[in-house]
């Protein structure tokens, strides 16, 4: 860790700062999880070792809960599953728990405790903090959260084997508190869907800023044709979004900047127990764009407020229809809402952007590609006015829009978007990430096709001129 160091960040506690100049795309550090588990809801769809999504998984013959791609993944995951296996089996034999496994927080806490017992709180020279030194914020939890914590601790004690080292309730509470405010969402091998939760000690030291100078991405490493991507290869990477000077604090955003200041502040207070004092929060920067009306037509403020409230109601209806898989109803709701939004709301209004995003995604799924491309373009145009130019969300949205335009036969626009997405993801995800590598292939294909279509258009134009000349 020769490019960053721990320091006391004013008003924030401990943080990390650069010890030398860093440039956009530089990796400040790479870190494997101290422990990670698959979400309860996806336990039968995701490999518990490599976190890949598979149609057919092999169930552990003992606990009947853990599932794996194949024998290779099962062997790779056995070191972590060995103690867990018997504990899950025993837990599922207890009264009301019959046939069940404990929830993801309990399973993650147990994996952490087993590793602490075996290896201690610092697992390598690269780890800059011990788990004991991480904040748990239990004293800041509201009453309802404390009740849930007590239930989890009670179930943890039922789950924890009698032949394992026994721990004080305070120590167990500390681990649950650390998970609650420092757990990091783990994605699948494509990086597109959240499939689990893990704890990354060094990442816990990186403080928040709504307009950060770094981004964090999960990289599962190179994938082979024989599924030899082991859990141990899964790592988070902290990457610079731009130039960082020596002595400058490195930051990431804990919440999506697309939310207005009030919503970001509420989320940060609820989940991380602090009030953000970054420049974008103090100045409510871009909130006017996110909730504003069309400036050109001078739309009355009362009308903007009315359509905004209507949009929120429609978004809730749309989300419900989408959860139920009623995609034609989703499109109906989107069209009805967008008809009222577009004459009134700014093209950066976040409720309109959500409608455009959902409409483009669902229409593409239903094979209405031309219409999907139009909404995807509007969405990206709005995002470009709101997000940091090197934001991972912007890169992913631009990639999706570029592919949709390409599929719609809009080669020129599609090629431009794919080029821009590739430039962003090279920095936010890095050249070895599966998404970047896939996009690189598409980028090369699009560039060649684009060049060919240009040559073909030039040739056709020349032929037309010759025909005109001969006719004349």
Give the number of domains in the chain: 3
Q: Are 103 and 40 in contact (CB under 8 A)?
A: yes
Q: Residue 454's pLDDT is what?
A: 55
Q: CB-hemisphere CA count at 13 Å for 195?
A: 23
Task: Verify that 56 and 191 share a domain, yes or no.
Answer: yes
* Residues 115 and 23 reside in one and the same domain: yes
β-partners of residue 53 are 46
Task: Note the pLDDT of residue 450.
Answer: 61
How confident is the model at residue 467, as a pLDDT?
Answer: 41
Q: Which CATH number goes with the domain that contains 379?
A: 1.25.40.10
pLDDT of 459: 44
Cβ count within 10 A of residue 205:
21
Please, what is the end-to-end C-alpha distance for the chain in angstroms? 74
The ranges of the chain with pLDDT < 70 are 95, 97-98, 221-232, 296-297, 449-472
Burial class (CB in 10 A: 0-12, 13-18, 19+), 211: middle
Q: How far apart are the C-alpha atoms of 346 and 125, rounded to whole Å?
A: 51
In our burial notation (b when 16+ CB lie closer than 10 A, e otherwise), range 241-271 reads beebeeeebbbbbbbebbbbbeebbeebeee
Whole-prediction pTM: 0.88
| CB-neighbour burial class of residue 171 (10 A; exposed 0-12, middle 13-18, buried 19+) | exposed
Question: Which of 365, 386, 407 is the last residue in one of the domains?
Answer: 386
264 falls within a domain: no
- 348 plus 414 within the same structural domain: no
DSSP 233: G
Residue 146 lies inside a defined structural domain of this protein? yes
19's enclosing H/E stretch is none
DSSP for 313-347, please give it.
HHHHHHHHHHHTT-HHHHHHHHHHHHHHHTTTB-T
Q: Which helix (H) or strand (E) holds 240?
A: strand 235-240
Does 189 map to a domain? yes
Query: The dihedral of CA 442, 448, 449, 450: what is its sign?
Result: positive
Same domain? 376 vs 416: no
Instruction: Give the domain extent around 311.
Output: 286-386
Examine the fold and report which residue of 236, 252, 268 is the final residue of a domain before the chain moves on.
252
Left if phi > 0, otherwise alpha if psi is -120 to 50, otherwise beta: which for 376?
alpha
Please tell me the distance from the alpha carbon of residue 330 to that of residue 318, in angstroms, as a whole number: 5
Would 108 be classed as within a structural domain? yes
Last residue of some domain: 339, 358, 386? Answer: 386
What pLDDT sits at residue 455? 54
Q: How many CA atoms lie less than 13 Å away from 204 in the CB half-sphere?
A: 24
Q: In the numeric block, which tokens belong to residue 282?
A: 């103090």
Q: Distance (Å, rounded) from C-alpha 211 to C-alpha 334?
A: 30
β-partners of residue 67 are 59
Q: Tell how far CA 48 is from the center of its chain.
A: 19
Reported as type and span, the H/E element at residue 377 is helix 369-386
Q: What is the CA radius of gyration of the chain?
A: 25
pLDDT digits over 157-193, tens only?
A: 999 999 999 999 999 999 999 999 999 999 887 777 8
């Amino acid at each position: 860790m020769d490019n960053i160091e721990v320091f006391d960040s004013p008003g924030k506690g401990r943080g990390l700062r650069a010890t030398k100049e860093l440039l956009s795309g530089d990796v400040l550090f790479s870190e494997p999880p101290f422990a990670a588990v698959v979400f309860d809801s996806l336990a039968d769809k995701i490999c518990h070792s490599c976190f890949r999504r598979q149609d057919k998984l092999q169930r552990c013959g003992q606990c009947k809960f853990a599932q794996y791609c194949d024998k290779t993944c099962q062997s790779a995951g056995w070191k972590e599953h060995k103690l867990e296996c018997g504990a899950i089996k025993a837990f599922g034999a207890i009264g009301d728990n019959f046939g069940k496994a404990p929830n993801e927080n309990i399973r993650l806490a147990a994996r952490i405790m087993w590793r602490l017992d075996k290896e201690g709180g610092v697992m390598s020279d690269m780890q800059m903090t011990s788990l004991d030194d991480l904040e748990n914020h239990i004293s800041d939890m509201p009453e309802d959260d404390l009740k849930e914590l007590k239930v989890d601790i009670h179930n943890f004690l039922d789950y924890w084997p009698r032949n394992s080292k026994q721990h004080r309730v305070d120590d167990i509470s500390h681990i649950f508190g650390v998970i609650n405010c420092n757990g990091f969402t783990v994605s699948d091998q494509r990086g597109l869907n959240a499939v689990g939760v893990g704890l990354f000690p060094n990442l816990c030291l990186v403080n928040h800023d709504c307009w950060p100078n770094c981004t964090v991405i999960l990289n599962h490493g190179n994938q082979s044709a024989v599924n030899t991507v082991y859990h141990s290869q899964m790592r988070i990477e902290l990457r610079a979004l731009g130039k960082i000077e020596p002595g400058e604090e490195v930051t990431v955003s804990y919440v999506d900047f697309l939310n207005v200041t009030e919503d970001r502040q509420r989320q940060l207070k609820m989940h991380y127990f602090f009030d953000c004092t970054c420049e974008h929060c103090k100045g409510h920067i871009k909130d006017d764009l996110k909730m504003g009306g069309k400036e050109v037509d001078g739309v009355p403020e009362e009308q903007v407020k009315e359509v905004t409230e209507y949009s929120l109601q429609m978004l809730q209806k749309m989300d419900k229809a989408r959860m139920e898989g009623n995609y034609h109803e989703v499109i109906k709701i989107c069209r009805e809402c967008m008809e009222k939004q577009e004459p009134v709301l700014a093209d950066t209004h976040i409720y309109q952007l959500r409608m455009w995003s959902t409409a483009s995604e669902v229409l593409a799924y239903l094979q209405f590609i031309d219409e999907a491309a139009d909404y995807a373009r509007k969405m990206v145009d709005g995002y470009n006015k709101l997000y940091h130019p090197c934001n991972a969300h912007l890169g992913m949205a631009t990639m999706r829009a570029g592919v949709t335009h390409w599929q719609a036969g809009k080669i020129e626009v599609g090629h431009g978007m794919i080029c821009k997405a590739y430039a962003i993801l090279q920095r936010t995800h890095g050249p070895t990430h599966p998404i970047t590598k896939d996009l690189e292939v598409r980028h090369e294909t699009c560039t060649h096709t684009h060049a060919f279509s240009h040559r073909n258009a030039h040739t056709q134009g020349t032929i037309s001129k010759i025909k005109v000349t001969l006719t004349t």
